[in-house]
Structure 1
Amino acid sequence: MSSPRTTRIALAVGAPALALVAAFLITSLVLLFAGDSVSGVWGQILSFPTHRGYVNIINSATVYYLSAVAVAIGFRMNLFNIGVDGQYRVASFAAAVVAGEAWLPGYLNTALAVLAAMLAGAAWAGIAGLLRVTRGVSEVISTIMLNLTATALVAYLLRKAAVDGGSSNIVSTKPVPEGSRIGGFTLFSDTPTQVYGLLILAVVVGVAYGFVLNRTRFGFDLRATGSSESAAVASGINVKRMVVISMLLSGAIAGLVGLPLLFGDAYAYGSTFQSGLGFAGIAIALLGRNHPVGIALGAVLFAFLDEQANPLQIVLNVSPDIVKITQGTIVLTVVIAYEVVRRYSVGIEQRRVAASLGDDAPPAADSKEVRA
């Protein structure tokens, strides 16, 4: 019989593998019904990326990772923060305005903008946290509404803070000064595309997330409250305080999502600034089971699928939206797969306990001794 540790590892690996296989089969059926080439689509998606593609995958995964960690903080607290999209919009706009004013020189200006982004994201998420603990409003509803409010608010403020773009129709803030920009680094000599310099930000966030969650009292309280709120209350944990702090932390990390783009590529917040990153983070956090390493693998997978889908329209006349179907199917199947694996592991543990109790039971008395 395999050891409990080996069984846990096998089950942990088996669940996402089962989900990926199911997603592959379902997407293939969709392609068949649509009359598209199944082999051609999968041949393109599963091929090796170009050098530029590798860089794009790393850059996209960096942003996805920050978004997913922000969501995962709420998930570990049993909070469904789906407002990351609005939080990073507000935070990116605040960072762009602060950086564009150049109140401090060089990288001090960058640090001030990063701080402004984290505070703005935390404040926006904190609204939902306060509504939850003071009025009992579900964070799902409040964050959805705050997403819409953030979109409208940023659009309004952007018109106020916009600078003259000349003949361009793009509305944007003042550009980040050159001395405050975070340069990237070249991974391949044959492509000018660079890896974001703020990749280090995602690494720091991931390490800090894993350390706080598993090595601190706050992380224990967070996990305990997420597992059982009533048990947390009985053990003396202030649940309302934990809810607010968790939402603030989640919003602060969400505030970092747009910064690699802002300081490494766009250099201003405008009407073309990338959107939708918060919703991708929800899927990736689910796929990675809120674990820092699992989230990293999920972020790379989603970035890989996005990059490999780009040529589908040109090469095979297939809409790249097929990847959205694949990603959505992965999320659905991974939830089902983890539940199946959870129930299977519970059954294994119950049988192991029953066998252990059976081995430890006292031997039956000899019948002759009983008659005596």
Structure 2
Amino acid sequence: MNFSPRRLALTLAAPVLAVLVAFVVTSLVLIAVGDPVALVWETLLSQPRPRTMVNIINSGITYYIAALAVAVGFKMKLFNIGVDGQYRIATFAAALVAGHGWLPGPLNIVLALLVAMLVGGLWAGIAGWLKVTRGVSEVISTIMLNAISGGLVAWGLRSWGQRAEGSNTRSTQEIPASSQLEGLPLVPDAANRVYTLLVLAVVLGVLYWFIVNRTRFGFDVRATGESETAAVASGVKVPRMVLTAMVVSGALAGLIGMPGFFGADHAYGMNFQSGVGFIGIGVALLGRNHPVGIAFAALLWSWLEKASDGLQLRADVSPALVFIIQGVILLAVVIAYEVVHRIEQRMEQRQVARQLDAGVTTEGASA
């Protein structure tokens, strides 16, 4: 594939435009309510402390894997809203298995990762099967499965979880010390460490790019997403591809909680982070379903969250302002993508027209 500066510029235009629109709209909101605009942006754009930087990277790792899970569905024009439920039930199942420590050290980690992928894939496969066999929208089925998974995990914690002395919360058994990952000292002067399973996120990003862009399966996924009719005409079995894409998306969703589980929590409890799947939707949209774009989007999203901690202290502004910024970015990016897509179509049409005109002129001269 030849490098095209124009295509690169168009690819970058939408997310950059979305961020600029969010900056302008948020500034107008601050002016309207009488908050200090300059101080707010100075607080948000100030260099984070080493500990905060590690927290930004760690949250970004989680959001990155969540966005990859969503992006697999997006490639097929499937809207997998159930990533949050798939991640929750898969992490719980992996925590139960890892807590028993049936295998030593690293093997216990590998076993837990496989269990998380299996459970996440099976849970997402329910929605895929309903869509293929009964025509049920994956949006409806995955929303319902989110609620069911939450109830199942709560029941599982009550049945098999342990209650710490003096606490009302329950959690799974803590994993053995040999399976706990200390982290990577990537940020100088930071007391905490980056999750070791950053390596897993990088590997997943590379595999995602390779499979989507360099394999027959990836071609079938993209072809089905662009046009089911054309895919069927080219021999693609669409129902099987829909089911497979949902299972793969769920398997990736199952890995969302693994970096934090092995790197910090070491057990699954009622205080486990929720809503990550929905954040993954926003990050995937902002990153245009490209592994590199998703990485920048995940870090941006995480940075906004962590930088908001100082808003109330330094600028006397509610940290909820970040929700406005994130929401505007999502709205703006959808609009920007459509605008850029139409511009790209017009440019391609003009280029084809010029090539046709040139061909006609050449034939006339030859005659």
TM-score (norm 1): 0.95
1:66 corresponds to 2:65? yes
What residue identity is the alignment partner of 1:225?
A: T
Q: Which residue pairs with 1:351 in the alignment? A: 350
Q: Which residue pairs with 1:176 in the alignment? A: 175
Q: Which residue pairs with 1:152 in the alignment? A: 151
Separation in 2, partners of 1:365, 1:20: 50
Separation in 2, partners of 1:178, 1:194: 17
Following superposition, the deviation at residue 339 of structure 1 comes to 0.8
Is 1:186–1:192's contact at 8 Å kept on the other side of the alignment? Answer: no
CA separation of 1:230 and 1:365: change in aligned 2, threshold 3 A: closer
Deviations 1:149-202 (A, max 9, x none): 111111111111111301122211100111111220223453311100111110
1:75 corresponds to 2:57? no
1:34 corresponds to 2:24? no
Describe the SS at the equivalent of 2:162: coil
Separation in 2, partners of 1:365, 1:196: 66
Separation in 2, partners of 1:216, 1:355: 33
Following superposition, the deviation at residue 4 of structure 1 comes to 9.2
Matches within 5 A, 1:250-265: 250-265=249-264
Deviations 1:51-108 (A, max 9, x none): 1121111101100000000000000011000111000000110011001111112111
RMSD: 1.7
CA separation of 1:110 and 1:354: change in aligned 2, threshold 3 A: same
Q: Which residue pairs with 2:5 in the alignment? A: 6
Separation in 2, partners of 1:145, 1:19: 31
The number of residues matched between the two structures is 364
Q: Larger Rg: 1 or 2? A: 1
Separation in 2, partners of 1:221, 1:294: 22
Q: Which residue pairs with 1:370 in the alignment? A: none
Describe the SS at the equivalent of 2:4: helix
Greater mean alpha carbon deviation, residues 246-255 or residues 160-169:
160-169
Stretches (4+) displaced over 3 A:
362-366
Deviations 1:199-235 (A, max 9, x none): 1110010010001011111011011101101110111
Separation in 1, partners of 2:251, 2:87: 9
Following superposition, the deviation at residue 276 of structure 1 comes to 0.9
What residue identity is the alignment partner of 2:123?
A: W
Separation in 2, partners of 1:365, 1:95: 70
Q: Which residue pairs with 2:217 in the alignment? A: 218
Q: Which residue pairs with 1:369 in the alignment? A: none
Q: Which residue pairs with 2:198 in the alignment? A: 199
Matches within 5 A, 1:1-372: 5-362=4-361
Is 1:64–1:280's contact at 8 Å kept on the other side of the alignment? Answer: yes
Following superposition, the deviation at residue 363 of structure 1 comes to 8.0
CA separation of 1:362 and 1:317: change in aligned 2, threshold 3 A: closer
Following superposition, the deviation at residue 260 of structure 1 comes to 0.9
What residue identity is the alignment partner of 2:255?
A: L
Deviations 1:242-287 (A, max 9, x none): 0111000000000000011111111100011111110000000011
Is 1:181–1:267's contact at 8 Å kept on the other side of the alignment? Answer: yes
Following superposition, the deviation at residue 6 of structure 1 comes to 2.3
Separation in 1, partners of 2:226, 2:97: 40
TM-score (norm 2): 0.96
